[in-house]
A and B are shown apart, each in its own frame.
Chain A
Amino acid sequence: MRAGGSPGVSRRDVLRAALVGAGGIALGGSLAACATPSAAGAGRPAVMIWDLFSGGDGALMQEMVAAVAAENPDIRLDSTTLAWGSPYYTKLAMASSGGRPPEAAVMHMSRLAGYAPGGLLEPFDLDALAALGVRQEHFAPAVWEKAQYDGQLYALPLDTHPYILFNNPELVGQAGLTGADGKLDYDAISGTDGFLAAGRAVAEVTGETGVGWGYLRDPAGCWRMFWGLYTQNGGGYDLVPGRKAELDVDAAVEVFEFLQEMVDGTVAARNQDGGAASGRFMSGRAGMMFSGEWDLPMFRDALPEVGATPFPTIFDQPANYADSHAFVLPRQAHADPAAREATYRVLAGLLKQSMTWASAGHIPAYQPVVEQDAYQELTPQRDYARAAEIAVFDPDVWFSGGGSDFQNRMGDAMTDTLSGEAPPRTAVDRILREMDRLLSQPNPA
């Protein structure tokens, strides 16, 4: 590092100065261009949609967006996929509170309680929707009800998406778990012992593990698994802000006892995250796989015959964890009527593309699509459509919901127990402690 040792410096300096100069000119140009973003597409309203579909389903949302864009050539339609979970909702809130929010965004219905009261969203105009052929009677009453806040519609439901069990028909067949129709026998995987036995049987076929479940670095996945099983085991809850959380501790402990038994290295691998578990399942190193139905497109790419069932009834009562995606309208600082009108047209168009969305695995909320024969014939979708009937959603409290900090905290609280480093009771204690903490905080919205 002897200064001044190189004789070429001055020439290089000139070169670099020239480069910087050229960059500066180009820069001035680009800044000028950015100052007037609307000039470029004057006359054509721009509609941007944010989504959080970074699983395989995002590709299908892009397909739907492309179809709607083709139907509406007068709209500049674009969509962006942001990182799922807390970061997505944080960005959405920040944008709505005074950045450049997108015209529309996808949201979990379970998150509505954290957004609508704070004025981050705008309600839908029912007349405008009706004019586009989207009316209340097109949705299941329970779903429509969940989309309301303060007597107004704040979310346009897109789907119900349960957390289910995929299977590789060939491998479960070899393990003797299929019924007369050649599909995985739902009864053969029911009950704690039944499921574990089935897992071992499949593991024998694969030579590695029976069922893929990537619990590491996926707190939301852990929470879905737990909350579904806990409900199956008859567990109730009492979560009232300002009071202590109340859960059925025994029921919860039993759930963790089961999960620890499952993550034994044979039934399910001890040390894997979602990506690794998917990889195992797709490469035939696991014959079953717990995941959201949204992973269907990805799995079908690798396993064209992939099968699926609702979440197995491992405890007494059938229950299947699920959530709902919906479109919302982030608050615009300067509402543009033309853009708003275009947004309604786009969203109505997207709902009518629900058949494509169904091929992603989701159960469409827009009933006219579900009632079509074409949907009734989709496999394996029809094999798990029952899941919607036994759906159990996140607890009804302001901090819960898909991609929430709550789910992260819950999932984190159980990691040590799931990996076998702590007893089942530890997870339950930690869950209660986190719930207490959240319940003691003021609702900021």
Chain B
Amino acid sequence: MGLKHQAALGLAGIVAALYSAAAAAEASTALWPALQETFFAGKTIEKADFIKLEGPARAESGAQVPITLTVDKPLDAADAIRKVYIIVDANPIPLAATYQFTPLNGKAQISTRVRMETDSFIHAVGETADGKFYMTALPIRAAGGCGGPVDGDEKAIRAASGKIKVNVDKPVKFGEANPATLMIKHPMFTGLQRDLVSGGYRPAFYMQKLDLSYNGKPVMHIDFGVGTSEDPYVRFFYQPEGPGTLDVKAIDNEGKEFEQHTEVAG
């Protein structure tokens, strides 16, 4: 091997090393200041240990990244967290969902699945009834969850959308926080997925708002964004005082309404 060739390999090695360092880039802290300014203009947000986020260090699938949010503070406290924003910093549409809790949740904890387009921090920002803000952040490595391919026939997907399933864990303990699982059949089109028929992008089509109530009393309100994964999944808590009905009312971004009712016995 000639000297020039060796030098070339050496240089190529350096170039390769530089690029591999770039390839190993992880969640960036640089995105948050602008996001905070967008979503919480003029507000002070304090870092708080009582808001916790759990998730994988490295997501297996960017399309369905499981996370759990816990607010370690009583929901009937004067300074209770009423609303939590879930923001995936590096997603093209960062706000994945907001959750509004009430004392009838019994416990402010939800598990859900979000889309992640690339390595990112997820921020959970909690707002109190009197307008104070607290937050926590979790870095997750992930790829390709927002613009990924949509397989299957659009008509069939639309026809199946809106079906709601609620599974309440049994036995139900009255007067305590009980877990339940909410699942909604919905493609949650992001607006960033290619449409080969039109040659452009498939318009966003997603479940937008959801209200949970127990015997007519509001338990939780959710605003979904397209950062919430296809077929939205939410594991949550509710606190029933006695037997009754857990009602779900939901509406998608095209104005279509869906309902589901679950009898809760002891």
Do A and B make up one complex? Answer: no
